[in-house]
């Protein structure tokens, strides 16, 4: 069994993700092989909150060029986690 810290890679800090925090929605970059149940259990264990819903999406890496050479950034998986109404917020995001 994988550690919860192996499943949650980092938070996504963008303008849109910060505005969704008022609704109790938090965005994370997660392991590409993780499913919704593993993500839910990892968030609950690491941050001590109750998760109501997890939405995931696979993000394609952008095409990038260096002169005539064409490459691609790495693809990644994004998870939007909705907390229950009676759950406290995630303290990691409080100072932002």
Which of the four pLDDT bands, split at 50, 70 and 90, describes residue 95? low
91 vs 27: CA distance, rounded Å? 14
The CATH code of the domain at 4-62+73-84 is: 3.30.70.330
Summarised one tens digit per residue, pLDDT across range 18-51 is 999 989 999 999 999 999 999 999 999 999 999 9
Residues 6+ apart with CB under 8 A from 6: 31
Q: What is the pLDDT of residue 89?
A: 85
Mean pLDDT confidence for 1-22: 92
Summarised one tens digit per residue, pLDDT across range 83-92 is 999 988 887 7
Q: What is the pLDDT of residue 92?
A: 74
Supply the mean pLDDT for the chain. Answer: 93
Contact by Cβ (8 Å): 61, 77: no
21 vs 33: CA distance, rounded Å? 25
Report the range of poorest mean pLDDT among 1-5, 25-29, 51-55, 57-61. Answer: 1-5
Q: Hey, where are the domains in the chain?
A: 4-62+73-84
């Amino acid at each position: 069994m994988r550690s919860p810290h192996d499943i949650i890679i980092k938070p996504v800090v963008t303008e849109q993700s910060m505005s969704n925090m008022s609704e109790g929605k938090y965005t994370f970059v997660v392991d590409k092989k993780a499913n919704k149940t593993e993500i839910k259990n990892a968030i609950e264990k690491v941050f001590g909150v109750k998760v109501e819903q997890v939405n995931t999406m696979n993000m394609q890496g952008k095409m990038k060029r260096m002169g005539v050479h064409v490459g691609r950034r790495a693809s990644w998986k994004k998870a939007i986690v909705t907390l229950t109404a009676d759950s406290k917020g995630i303290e990691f995001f409080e100072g932002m």
